[in-house]
Structure 1
Amino acid sequence: MSHTQDGSELLTGPGAGGLLGSAVGNSGGVLHSWQLDHVDHRPGRSTKALYRTQVSWPELDGPQAPAREELFGASAHIGEQEKDLYVAEQTLVMTDGDIDVRVWRYPHDPWLPMLPRVCYPDIVGRTLAELGVHLGPDPSAPIAIDVVSYRPGRRAVLRASQEGAAVFLKVMQPHRSGEIVDRHHRLLAAGVPVPEVMAHHEGLVVLRELPGRPLSRAVIDEGVDACRGEDLVALLDRLPASMYSVPLRPPWTDSVDFYAGIVASSVPALGPRLDALVREIREGLGSLEQRMDMRPHDVVHGDFYEAQVFVEDGRVVGLLDIDTVGPGRRADDLACLLAHLSVLADYGNAGRIDRAMQERVETAISTWHRTFAERVDPTELALRSAGVVLSLATGPHRQQETAWEAATEAIVRVAEEWVARARRAEAATRERLAQAQAQSQAPLTGQRPVAPATELTPGDDSPTQERRIDQIVQG
């Protein structure tokens, strides 16, 4: 098998067809066509991929039966034993001595043993009943299943509905579900509007549906009227201090080299621009450490963006996906939201959202950015936003979007715009600090200065006060 060190070339190139054909044939089927749907590439370590295929099963459906769509997953690992592998019986492993490739038919993901128990309408009802969860008033009514997301080997989220009632089924590696349930209980007890856990069992967590609708939909339809920026900050401030004791959630900017490497491996022409981005983000954050405390003082969500927030009638009513709640910096969460929204707004340039939607999102970004920059340092906010955008640049290739190369370049450009904004913010801050220093060294005239309307108390020259003044200077 010809391959790169991490298997990415093998799983994303023409050779993947041979692997899939062998796996399908080993199960008694015939592969007619295949298309790469999703790839999770960790350069130098491993690659996981998801494929949409057309397969016929002569022994099951008869020799004349038409082909049907099937999903297949594949994983390539280099020189180390696969971790957290739970069910391997329905997978096929192929090797050439250097690299092992494991192929499976969805939903028999070897890392997610509960996935087959919730993917089929006739089985999910029994699974929920065994866990004491009942949907609609008529248990015999059909259950509809929608796959919200699936990351091979990592997690899946499905929505099961029956006669207007719905629950969300979060499937993960079994060793993680107990921790996730505990987090939900602790946050609910603190008054954070996260989904209620209805049941759970070894890698499956059943969550009650939140009220309202996702901010991702509301901001496109309503723009800044979807909710107030102050309410978004207040939602994060409700995260309880007790969660500060859990393991540190590294900020996205800690991994900018990693994400840049992924993007550069898929679009090599972007290499010089990615190198410059990484350098400016690193150097910018390093400079901030010279004038402010950069330690993690807050409890953060860890992946705070518009799809995770639910709103209703202009109010924030829910928060999803709290797996990464823990110690961090408030700027990380606020930057994560701005980064995602800025990529969404840029979709208007490619025609993926219409101009009116684009303008509503851009207005929301501008308004909420002003609010956020009053709470955290504006330079840090912009640099952290650039780092998150850079992580999003891995998405078009991973999700195999149409024209993913152009989409990747567009996201890199958005990251560059955030870095430019950080430069402007830092220049304004340094100018203000220089002016303040010059004024403090001015000779005394014997005249008493006019007192400000609000007296500054000792300590008000802290970074928080500096950020407030800086925001006024920038308008």
Structure 2
Amino acid sequence: MSHTQDGSELLTGPGAGGLLGAAVGNSGGVLHSWQLDHVDHRPGRSTKALYRTQVSWPELDGPQAPAREELFGASAHIGEQEKDLYVAEQTLVMTDGDIDVRVWRYPHDPWLPMLPRVCYPDIVGRTLAELGVHLGPDPSAPIAIDVVSYRPGRRAVLRAAQGGAAVFLKVMQPHRSGEIVDRHHRLLAAGVPVPEVMAHHEGLVVLRELPGRPLSRAVIDEGVDACRGEDLVALLDRLPASMYSVPLRPPWTDSVDFYAGIVASSVPALGPRLDALVREIREGLGSLEQRMDMRPHDVVHGDFYEAQVFVEDGRVVGLLDIDTVGPGRRADDLACLLAHLSVLADYGNAGRIDRAMQERVETAISTWHRTFSERVDPTELALRSAGVVLSLATGPHRQQETAWEAATEAIVRVAEEWVARARRAEAATRERLAQAQAQSQAPLTGQRPVAPATELTPGDDSPTQERRIDQIVQG
């Protein structure tokens, strides 16, 4: 097997066909065609890939049966031992002495042992019944399964519907599910509108469906009328201070070098621009430390973007995917939303959304950006937006989009626009500070400023001391 250090060349190149053919043949099938569908590449460490294939099974379906579509996953790694491997029986491992490749047929992901129990309509009903979950009034009615997302070896989200009722099935590595359930309970107790946990088992969490619809759909249809920017900030401010004690998850901007490396490995021509982006983001955030406290004072969502927020009648009614809630900076969450929306708006330049949709999204970005800039430093907001956009530039290749190289370049350009906005914001801030300093040196009038009357309330649940200070000033 010819390969790069992390297996990416092997799993994304023509050699993957030989691996898949061997795995299919070992199970008694015949591989007719294959196509790379998704790739998770960690440069220098490992690669996971998902393939859509056409396979026939002569022994199972008969020699004349047509081929059917099957999903296969593959993982390649060098050196370090595979972690958190739970079910390896239905996988095939191939090696040349340096690199090991593990191949499996979906849904038998060796890291997600509960996946086979929820992805077949005739099995998921029994699984839910064993957990005490009953969907519709007629248990004999068929259950429809939709795969919302699947990242090999990491997680999957499925929607199970029966009649007019539906639940979401969140599949993960078993050691993580207890923590996720605890987070949902704590946030619900604090009044945060996250989904109710209906049941759980090791590696599976069953969640009640939220009301409303995702902001990702609403903002395309309604633009800024989908919800108010102030309500998005207020939603984040409801995250309880008790979550500040969970382990710190580094912000996206801490990993800009890592994401730039992934993008550069897939599109080497972007290397110089990526280097410049990383340098400006790092130097810009470093300069901010000279004039403001950059420590993580807030409780943050950690992955706050339009698909995670549910809205209804112009109100925010739900919040999804709270796995990453913990200490951080409010600018991280607000930047994450702006970054995702800016990439969505740029789809209009490639004809992926129509002009009217693009204008609605752009208006929402502009309006919400003004609101967010009143809450957090505008330079930090723009720099962190650039960092999140850079992380999104790994998506077109990972998801094997059509014309993924051009799509990657477009996202890098959006990141560059955020860096340019950060420069303008910082220049404006420095000008205001200089004017304020000049005014402070004017002759004193002898008048004393009026002290704020608001006092701190002992035991309040606001996540940060920073917010308490804001409340005092506003009072």
- 2:379 aligned with 1:376: no
Q: Is the 8 A contact 1:224 1:367 kept in 2?
A: yes
Q: For residues 133 and 466 of structure 2, what CA distance do their matches in structure 1 show?
A: 52
Deviation of the 1:439 alpha carbon: 2.1
Deviation of the 1:466 alpha carbon: 14
Deviation of the 1:442 alpha carbon: 3.5
Residues 1:297 and 1:405: Cα distance change in structure 2 (over 3 Å): same
Residues 1:455 and 1:8: Cα distance change in structure 2 (over 3 Å): closer
Deviation of the 1:51 alpha carbon: 0.1
Q: For residues 52 and 138 of structure 1, what CA distance do their matches in structure 2 show?
A: 35
Deviation of the 1:417 alpha carbon: 0.3
Gaps of 5+ in 1: none
Q: Is the 8 A contact 2:462 2:468 kept in 1?
A: no
Residues 1:430 and 1:29: Cα distance change in structure 2 (over 3 Å): same
Residues 1:60 and 1:298: Cα distance change in structure 2 (over 3 Å): same
* Deviation by residue 1:169-220 (Cα, 9 ceiling, x = unmatched): 0000000000000000000000000000000000000000000000000000
Deviation of the 1:457 alpha carbon: 19
Deviation of the 1:464 alpha carbon: 13
Deviation of the 1:294 alpha carbon: 0.3
Q: Is the 8 A contact 1:53 1:71 kept in 2?
A: yes
Q: For residues 22 and 262 of structure 1, what CA distance do their matches in structure 2 show?
A: 29
Q: For residues 283 and 204 of structure 1, what CA distance do their matches in structure 2 show?
A: 42
Q: Is the 8 A contact 1:154 1:173 kept in 2?
A: yes
Q: For residues 373 and 314 of structure 1, what CA distance do their matches in structure 2 show?
A: 21
Q: Is the 8 A contact 2:241 2:464 kept in 1?
A: no
Q: Is the 8 A contact 1:300 1:326 kept in 2?
A: yes
Deviation of the 1:273 alpha carbon: 0.2
Deviation of the 1:438 alpha carbon: 1.8
Residues 1:456 and 1:471: Cα distance change in structure 2 (over 3 Å): closer
Deviation of the 1:267 alpha carbon: 0.2
Residues 1:295 and 1:137: Cα distance change in structure 2 (over 3 Å): same
Deviation of the 1:441 alpha carbon: 2.4
* 2:83 counterpart SS class: coil
Q: Is the 8 A contact 1:375 1:467 kept in 2?
A: no
1:49-64 maps to which residues of 2 (within 5 A)? 49-64=49-64
Moved more, 449-458 or 316-325: 449-458
Deviation of the 1:94 alpha carbon: 0.2
Residues 1:116 and 1:450: Cα distance change in structure 2 (over 3 Å): closer
Residues 1:148 and 1:445: Cα distance change in structure 2 (over 3 Å): closer
Residues 1:468 and 1:273: Cα distance change in structure 2 (over 3 Å): farther
Deviation of the 1:456 alpha carbon: 18
Residues 1:72 and 1:447: Cα distance change in structure 2 (over 3 Å): closer
Q: For residues 467 and 291 of structure 1, what CA distance do their matches in structure 2 show?
A: 18
Q: Is the 8 A contact 1:428 1:473 kept in 2?
A: no
Q: For residues 50 and 29 of structure 1, what CA distance do their matches in structure 2 show?
A: 18
Q: For residues 457 and 189 of structure 2, what CA distance do their matches in structure 1 show?
A: 36
Q: Is the 8 A contact 1:256 1:278 kept in 2?
A: yes
Residues 1:333 and 1:93: Cα distance change in structure 2 (over 3 Å): same
Deviation of the 1:144 alpha carbon: 0.3
Q: For residues 102 and 165 of structure 2, what CA distance do their matches in structure 1 show?
A: 38
Deviation of the 1:164 alpha carbon: 1.2
* 1:463 counterpart SS class: coil
Residues 1:91 and 1:172: Cα distance change in structure 2 (over 3 Å): same
Residues 1:208 and 1:467: Cα distance change in structure 2 (over 3 Å): closer
* 2:471 counterpart SS class: helix
Deviation of the 1:14 alpha carbon: 0.3
Q: Percent identity?
A: 99
Q: Which runs of 4+ in 1 moved over 4 A?
A: 443-475
Deviation of the 1:436 alpha carbon: 1.4
* 1:126 counterpart SS class: helix
Q: Is the 8 A contact 1:373 1:467 kept in 2?
A: no
Q: For residues 462 and 121 of structure 2, what CA distance do their matches in structure 1 show?
A: 58
Deviation of the 1:440 alpha carbon: 2.1
* Deviation by residue 1:351-383 (Cα, 9 ceiling, x = unmatched): 110000000000000000000000000000000
Residues 1:118 and 1:453: Cα distance change in structure 2 (over 3 Å): closer
* Deviation by residue 1:289-311 (Cα, 9 ceiling, x = unmatched): 00000000000000000000000
Q: For residues 124 and 247 of structure 2, what CA distance do their matches in structure 1 show?
A: 34
Q: Is the 8 A contact 2:6 2:42 kept in 1?
A: yes
* 1:72 counterpart SS class: strand
Q: For residues 8 and 92 of structure 1, what CA distance do their matches in structure 2 show?
A: 18
Q: For residues 462 and 71 of structure 1, what CA distance do their matches in structure 2 show?
A: 46
Q: For residues 228 and 208 of structure 2, what CA distance do their matches in structure 1 show?
A: 25
Moved more, 44-53 or 464-473: 464-473
Count, aligned residues:
475
Q: Is the 8 A contact 2:299 2:328 kept in 1?
A: yes
Deviation of the 1:230 alpha carbon: 0.3
Q: Is the 8 A contact 2:199 2:205 kept in 1?
A: yes
Deviation of the 1:453 alpha carbon: 17
Residues 1:436 and 1:467: Cα distance change in structure 2 (over 3 Å): farther
Deviation of the 1:470 alpha carbon: 16
Q: For residues 310 and 322 of structure 1, what CA distance do their matches in structure 2 show?
A: 13
Q: For residues 182 and 215 of structure 1, what CA distance do their matches in structure 2 show?
A: 26
Moved more, 262-271 or 433-442: 433-442
Deviation of the 1:434 alpha carbon: 1.1
Residues 1:12 and 1:448: Cα distance change in structure 2 (over 3 Å): closer
Deviation of the 1:437 alpha carbon: 1.4
Q: For residues 162 and 277 of structure 2, what CA distance do their matches in structure 1 show?
A: 48
Q: Is the 8 A contact 1:373 1:381 kept in 2?
A: yes
Q: Is the 8 A contact 2:5 2:44 kept in 1?
A: yes
Q: For residues 231 and 49 of structure 2, what CA distance do their matches in structure 1 show?
A: 39
Q: For residues 461 and 155 of structure 2, what CA distance do their matches in structure 1 show?
A: 46
The alignment's C-alpha RMSD in Å is 4.0
Q: Is the 8 A contact 1:135 1:161 kept in 2?
A: yes
* 2:258 counterpart SS class: helix
Deviation of the 1:4 alpha carbon: 0.3
* 2:464 counterpart SS class: helix
Q: Is the 8 A contact 1:377 1:464 kept in 2?
A: no
Q: Is the 8 A contact 1:292 1:463 kept in 2?
A: no
Deviation of the 1:253 alpha carbon: 0.1
Q: For residues 170 and 40 of structure 1, what CA distance do their matches in structure 2 show?
A: 20
Q: For residues 324 and 182 of structure 1, what CA distance do their matches in structure 2 show?
A: 13
Deviation of the 1:448 alpha carbon: 11
Residues 1:468 and 1:343: Cα distance change in structure 2 (over 3 Å): farther
* Deviation by residue 1:254-287 (Cα, 9 ceiling, x = unmatched): 0000000000000000000000000000000000
Q: Is the 8 A contact 1:145 1:160 kept in 2?
A: yes
* 1:104 counterpart SS class: strand
Which residue of structure 1 lines up, in the alignment, with residue 392 of structure 2? 392
Q: Is the 8 A contact 1:6 1:45 kept in 2?
A: yes
Residues 1:470 and 1:420: Cα distance change in structure 2 (over 3 Å): farther
Q: Is the 8 A contact 2:158 2:169 kept in 1?
A: yes
Deviation of the 1:412 alpha carbon: 0.2
Gaps of 5+ in 2: none
Residues 1:305 and 1:15: Cα distance change in structure 2 (over 3 Å): same
Q: Is the 8 A contact 1:158 1:170 kept in 2?
A: yes
Deviation of the 1:162 alpha carbon: 0.4
Residues 1:63 and 1:72: Cα distance change in structure 2 (over 3 Å): same
